Amino acid sequence: MLNTITNTLQIDPTQNPELAAQIDAILEEHRNKPGCLMVVLNEVQTKVGFVSEQIQDYIAASLHVPVSKVHGVISFYSFFTTRPRGKHTIKFCLGTACYVGGSPQLIEKAKQLLGIELGDTTEDGNISITMEACRCVGACSQAPVVVVDDTIYGRVKPSKVTQLIRALEKEG
Amino acid sequence: MTYFRSHILVCNDPVCTNKGSMEIMQALIDEISSKGLQDEVQVLDTPRIGNCENGPEILVYPEGLHYINLKKDQIPFLVEEQFLKGRPIPDFLAPPKKEQAQELGEPTAKEVRVVLRNCGKIDPQNIEEYIAEDGYQALAKVLSESTPDEVIDTVRRSGLRGRGGAGFPTGLKWSLTRDTVSNTKFLVCNADEGDPGAFMNRSVLEGDPHSVVEGMIIAAYAIGATQGYIYCRAEYPIAVRTLNIAIEQARAYGLLGEHIMGTDFSFDMEVRKGAGAFVCGEETALIKSIEGKRGEPRPRPPFPSVKGLFGKPTNINNVESYANVPQIILRGPEWFSSMGTEKSKGTKTFALAGDVNRTGLIEVPFGITLREIVFDVGGGIKNGHEFKAIQTGGPMGGCLPTADLDLEVDYEKLTQAGSIMGSGGMVVMDDETCMVDIARFFMDFIQDESCGKCVPCRVGTRRMLEILTRICNGEGRDGDIELLEELCVEIKQDSLCGLGQGAPNVIVSTLKNFRDEYEAHIYKKECPAKVCRALIQYEIQADKCVGCTACARNCPVDAISGEAKKPHSINPDTCIRCGICKNVCNYDAILVK
Ligand SMILES: Cc1cc2nc3c(=O)[nH]c(=O)nc-3n(C[C@H](O)[C@H](O)[C@H](O)COP(=O)(O)O)c2cc1C
Ligand code: SF4
Ligand code: SF4
Ligand code: SF4
Ligand code: FES
Ligand code: FES
B118 within domain boundaries: no
Average pLDDT over residues B544-550: 91
Contact status of A78 with chain B (Cβ, < 8 Å): yes
Percent of chain B with pLDDT over 70: 96
Q: Nearest by CB to B579, from A39, A105, A159: name it.
A: A105
Q: Which residues of B touch A98 (CB under 8 A)?
A: 196
pTM of the model: 0.81
pLDDT over 50 (residue B1): no
Distance (Å) from the C-alpha of residue B12 to the closest C-alpha of chain A?
12
Q: What is the pLDDT of residue A170?
A: 81
Report the number of distinct structural domains present in chain B: 5
β-pairing, A146-148 vs A151-153, is antiparallel
- B186-191 and B425-430 strand pairing: unpaired
Which residues on B lie below 8 Å from A100 (Cβ)? 354-355, 427, 429, 433, 438
Give every strand in the sheet of B41-46, ordered side by side: B41-46, B6-11, B58-61, B65-67
Q: State which residue of chain B sits closest to A45, comparing Cα positions.
A: B275
Contact of B503 with B491, CB cutoff 8 Å: yes
Looking at the DSSP bridge assignments, the partners of residue B316 are B188
Query: Could you tell me if B15 and B77 lie in one domain?
Result: yes
Residues B265, B414, single domain; the answer is: no
Averaged pLDDT, B373-402: 94
Same domain, B544 and B517: no
Shortest alpha-carbon distance between residue A36 and chain B (Å): 6
Mutation target for A interface from B18, B286, B296: give the one with most A CBs within 10 A: B18
Ligand with smallest separation from the Cα of B558: 4
Cβ-Cβ contacts under 8 Å, B295 against chain A:
76-77
**pLDDT the model gives residue B360:** 82
The distance of A18 to chain B (nearest Cα, Å) reads 25
Q: Are residues B83 and B139 in the same domain?
A: no
pLDDT on residue B98? 35
Is position B114 within any domain? no
Alpha-carbon distance A64 to nearest alpha carbon in chain B (angstroms): 14
What residues does each domain of chain A span?
2-76, 88-171
DSSP conformation letters of B197-263: T--HHHHHHHH-HHHHHHHHHHHHHHHT-SEEEEEE-TT-HHHHHHHHHHHHHHHHTTSSBSSGGGS
Please report the pLDDT score of residue B220 as a whole number.
98
Note whether B199 and B289 are same-domain residues. Answer: yes
B507 and B568 co-located in one domain: no
Question: Shortest CB distance from B294 goes to which of A73, A108, A113?
Answer: A73
Q: Estimate the crossing angle of helix B137-145 against helix B209-223, to 10 degrees.
A: 10
In whole angstroms, what is the distance from residue B239 CA to residue B236 CA? 5
Are B302 and B195 part of one and the same domain?
yes
B341 belongs to a structural domain:
no
Same domain, B365 and B514: no
A137 Cβ closer than 6 Å to some ligand 5 atom: yes
Helical (H) or strand (E) element with B102: helix B99-103
Once rounded to an integer, what is the mean pLDDT over residues A123-130? 74
Question: For position A99, what pLDDT does the model report?
Answer: 84
Q: What is the CATH number of the domain that holds B488?
A: 1.20.1440.230
Query: Which of A136-150, B112-126, B235-249, B498-512 has the highest average model confidence (pLDDT)?
Result: B498-512
- Model confidence pLDDT, tens digit, residues B192-217: 998 877 888 988 998 899 999 999 99
Kindly state whether B592 is in contact with chain A, defined as any CB-CB distance less than 8 angstroms: no
Q: What confidence tens digit (pLDDT) does each residue in B405-455 have?
A: 999 999 999 999 999 999 888 999 999 999 999 999 999 999 999 999 999
CA B435 to chain centre: 22
Distance between CA B381 and CA B379 in Å, rounded? 7
Residue B464 lies in a domain: yes
Using the Cβ of A71 and the Cβ atoms of chain B, whether some distance falls under 8 Å is answered with no
Q: What DSSP character marks residue B77?
A: H
User: How far apart, in Å, are the Cα atoms of B10 and each of B50, B54, B588?
Assistant: 11, 13, 40
Is the predicted pLDDT of residue B106 greater than 50, yes or no? no
Looking at B523, B547, B562, the residue that finishes a domain is B523
In tens, the pLDDT along B259-281 reads 999 999 999 999 999 998 999 99
Q: Which one of B523, B551, B578 terminates a domain?
A: B523
Distance between CA atoms of residues B440 and A109, nearest Å: 22
Residue B105 lies in a domain: no
Write down the H helix ranges in B495-546. Answer: 498-502, 505-513, 515-523
Mean pLDDT over residues A22-50, rounded?
94
User: What would the pLDDT profile of B166-189 be if each residue is shown by its tens digit?
Assistant: 899 999 999 999 999 999 999 999
B531 in a domain, yes or no? Answer: no
Q: Which amino acid does the sequence have at B318?
A: N
Q: Is the CB of B454 under 6 A from ligand 2?
A: yes
Contact list, B276 vs chain A (CB under 8 Å): 77-79
Identify any residues that bridge with B231 across adjacent strands, giving them in sequence order.
Answer: B190, B272
Q: State which residues form the domain around B356.
A: 347-430
Note the pLDDT tens digit of each residue in B69-78.
Answer: 889 888 998 9
Ligand 2 pocket test target in B288, B497, B501 with most atoms within 8 Å of CB: B497
Contacts of B150 (CB under 8 A, 6+ apart): none
Beta bridge partners of B412: none
Cβ atoms < 10 Å from Cβ of A117? 9
> What span, in angstroms and rounded, lies between the C-alpha atoms of B337 and B395?
29
Q: What is the mean pLDDT of residues A59-83?
A: 93
Torsional sign, CA B133, B139, B144, B149: positive
Mean pLDDT of B510-526: 97
Which band of pLDDT confidence, cut at 50, 70 and 90, is reported for residue B301?
A: very high
Does this complex have an ipTM over 0.85?
A: no
Are B230 and B147 part of one and the same domain? Answer: yes
Q: Is residue B101 over pLDDT 60?
A: no
Question: Of B13, B199, B433, which has the smallest distance from its Cβ to A100's Cβ?
Answer: B433
**B318: CB partners within 8 A, 6+ apart:** B162, B163, B164, B165, B189, B190, B191, B201, B423
Same domain, B466 and B411: no
Q: Does the beta carbon of B151 lie inside 6 Å of ligand 2?
A: no
Same domain assignment for residues B180 and B62: no
The minimal CB distance from A42 to the residues B193, B273, B310 is found for B273
Would an 8 Å CB–CB cutoff place B294 in contact with chain A? yes
Tell me: pLDDT of B508 over 90: yes
Would residue B448 count as lying in a domain? yes
Regarding the domain with residue range A88-171, which homologous superfamily does it belong to in the CATH classification?
A: Glutaredoxin (3.40.30.10)
The residue of chain A with its CA nearest to that of B579 is: A105
What CATH number is associated with residue B425?
3.10.20.600
How confident is the model at residue A125, as a pLDDT? 54
Instruction: Please name which of B299, B271, B286, B119 lies closest in space to residue B194, comparing C-alpha atoms.
Output: B286
- Starting from the edge strand earliest in sequence, which strands make up the sheet with B360-365, in order? B360-365, B347-354, B425-430, B387-392, B399-401
pLDDT reading at A40 higher than 90: yes
Chain B residue with CA closest to A163: the answer is: B554
